[in-house]
Amino acid sequence: MIEETEYKKRRDKLGCSLSKNSVGVIFAGDYKTRSNDTEYPFRQNSNFYYLSGFIEDNACLMIVKKKKKIKTILLVEKKDKVKELWTGKRLGEKESKKRFLVDEVLTYDKLNDVLDEHMKDKSTLYYDFKLEPSKVKILKKYTKDLRASKNIAKLIEAQRLIKSSSEIALIKKAISITKDAHHDAMKQSSKLKYEYELQAEIEYVFKKNAAFSDAYTSIVACGNSANTLHYISNDKRLVNGELVLIDAGCEYQYYASDITRTIPVLGKFSKAQKELYEMVLSVGLAIIEMIKPEAKRSDIQKKSEELLCQGMIDLGILKGSLKKLLKKQKHKKYYPHGIGHWMGIDVHDESPYKDKKGKEIPLKSGMIMTIEPGIYIDKKDKKVPKKYRGIGIRIEDDILVTFNGYENLSKDIAKTIEEIEQISS
Ligand code: GLY
Ligand code: MN
Ligand code: MN
């Protein structure tokens, strides 16, 4: 759980980074239409959530900075008995005043008046440059006479880079539910016929443990399907003797987990599958060892490419010298993605990788990044020994940077061949 005082601290910190005589506006998310008059389940805008912990739509947070003085205003939807009968209770102005540690709570229908009042003598407006057009329209009136408009999302996302202990606790909880789901999949795979059945098992575990959503659409890809990186149709048969790549992680109280395991459908790796798997696993282990404060993601990426390329040479997948193959980027055909990404409220946290001057941001204690080496060999790739064709393997863990190194937050999820075969049997 995240205390109200922590949300307040986040708002104060953001307020400090705004320029003098400015207004910062952060809108809540919107319901998105699924079809006709049905909507997807509501998911709060990540930056708004980070600053408020408030999970309703039709809301807006305003940070008004007059000279150096900061005032925070939260606008929430008005109580409306008829509307609430259909769509559920709203917190409303009165309750919001009690709960949130903001200076003022008003109703959302006052948005234009509040903006008129506070934008009067201000020189800068901060808002999210990726805002929906309907919201941009609201702000247009103010942006034209201003000295500057600035992207508030960039400031918030930079703040989100370092996780607090309460955020880390929620991510650990998400990973622990995801662990149960992956272990369940390992136990069930030999008994099921279709990828979607395995997906259902996994997502059942998520929901049963109060993780009401996945953090991203689950990938359950058997055999050659694993070579489509964002395979989400999950509609093919689980074929005996093949591997199934499962990239699935739940979201728990707005915090993500992002875990991939690649397991044999029948619970036993073949010799060729073992060779490839051991190679990817050893690269993952070596890369995780590099994680510590001041390490650079670009060095980690480079090393992962070197190690995977060497592994491909050793297995006869690539031929030639390591140096030449790397120079010609030959390994990219089989390892086309990055080694990992920031993770937090979003599975791919939009936090920056570079500072304002374009210099790479080194790792720091409190950051969380995924490490996810993989190898993908299409079944029609005649250049590769036949035994490896049609196999895709990725192994993904979520790693916390600590003061003296790292903590693998997903270390309890079976990963070695022995561990996976044992759980599956
Ligand atoms: N599940 C998405 C990713 O691994 O980045
Ligand atoms: Mn990932
Ligand atoms: Mn993933």
What's the CA gap between 354 and 22, in Å, rounded? 25
Q: Which atom of ligand 1 is nearest to the CA of 258?
A: 1
* Angle (CA) 298 303 305, round 5°: 95
CB 292 within 8 A of CB 406: yes
Residue 258 CB less than 6 A away from ligand 1? yes
Question: What pLDDT, on a 0 to 100 scale, did the predictor assign at position 147?
Answer: 77
Is the full-model pTM beyond 0.85?
yes
Is 348 noted as a catalytic residue in this protein?
yes
For 163, which DSSP code? P
| Positions in the chain whose pLDDT score sits under 50 | none
Q: Is 331 a catalytic residue?
A: no
State residue 67's pLDDT score.
83
Q: How far is the CA of 382 from the centre of ligand 2 (A)?
A: 29
Tokens matching residue 411: 């270390």
Q: Which of 258, 275, 349, 350 is flagged as catalytic?
A: 258
Query: Which residue of the set 93, 99, 103, 348 is catalytic?
Result: 348
The per-residue pLDDT of the chain, averaged, comes to 96
**How far is 146 from 144, CA to CA, in rounded Å?**
6
pLDDT for position 298? 96
**Closest-lying ligand 1 atom to the alpha carbon of residue 341:** 5
Look at residues 17, 1, 102 and name the one whose alpha carbon lies nearest to residue 65: 17
Q: Ligand 1, closest atom to CA 216? A: 1
Residue 376 catalytic?
yes
* 57 within 8 A of 39, measured Cβ to Cβ: no
pLDDT at 425: 83
Extract long-range pairs of 282-290: CB within 8 Å, 24+ residues apart.
Answer: 282/307, 282/311, 283/307, 283/308, 283/311, 283/373, 284/371, 284/372, 284/373, 284/395, 284/397, 287/339, 287/371, 287/373, 288/371, 288/397, 288/399, 288/406, 288/408
Ligand 1: which of 232, 247, 259, 371 to mutate, judged by most atoms within 8 Å of the beta carbon?
247
- Please report the domains of the chain, with CATH numbers, ordered by start residue: 4-159 (3.40.350.10), 165-424 (3.90.230.10)
Confidence at residue 17, expressed as pLDDT on a 0 to 100 scale = 96
| Ligand 1 pocket check for 372: Cβ under 6 Å | yes
Q: Nearest 10 degrees: CA dihedral of 305, 309, 310, 316?
A: 160
Q: Is 247 a catalytic residue?
A: yes
Please give the pLDDT value at position 33. Answer: 96
Expressed in angstroms and rounded, the spacing between residue 203 Cα and the centre of ligand 1 is: 16
Distance CA 248, CA 259 (A): 6
CA distance 252 to 96: 23
Does residue 397's CB lie within 6 angstroms of at least one atom of ligand 1? no
The Cα-based distances of 361 to 199, 269, 284, 353 in angstroms read 36, 40, 22, 6
| pLDDT for the residue numbered 123 | 86
Instruction: Please name every residue paired with 370 in a beta bridge, in sequence order, or none if there are none.
Output: 398
Asked if residues 128 and 26 have their Cβ atoms less than 8 Å apart, the reply is: yes
Helix runs in 104-225, H state only: 111-119, 133-143, 152-159, 165-188, 195-208
204 tagged catalytic: no
- The residue count of the chain comes to 425
> What's the one-letter identity of residue 331?
H
User: Ligand 3 mean position to 23 CA, how many Å?
Assistant: 37
How many degrees, rounded to 5, is the angle at CA 406 between CA 252 and CA 332? 85
| Ligand number nearest to the C-alpha of 259 | 3
What integer pLDDT is reported at residue 80 of this predicted model? 95
Q: What is the pLDDT of residues 322-358, one digit of tens each?
A: 999 999 999 999 999 999 999 999 999 999 999 989 9
Pairing of strands 69-76, 104-107: parallel
Per-residue pLDDT at 122: 81
So what's the pLDDT on residue 144? 78
Single out the catalytic residue among 157, 195, 201, 247: 247
Backbone angles phi, psi at 122, to 5 degrees: -100, 150
CB atoms within 10 A of CB 117: 10
- Amino acid identity for residue 178 in this structure: T
DSSP string for residues in 29-97: ----EEETTEEPPP---HHHHHHH----SS-EEEEEEETTEEEEEEEEPPP-HHHHHHH----HHHHHH
372 belongs to the catalytic site: yes
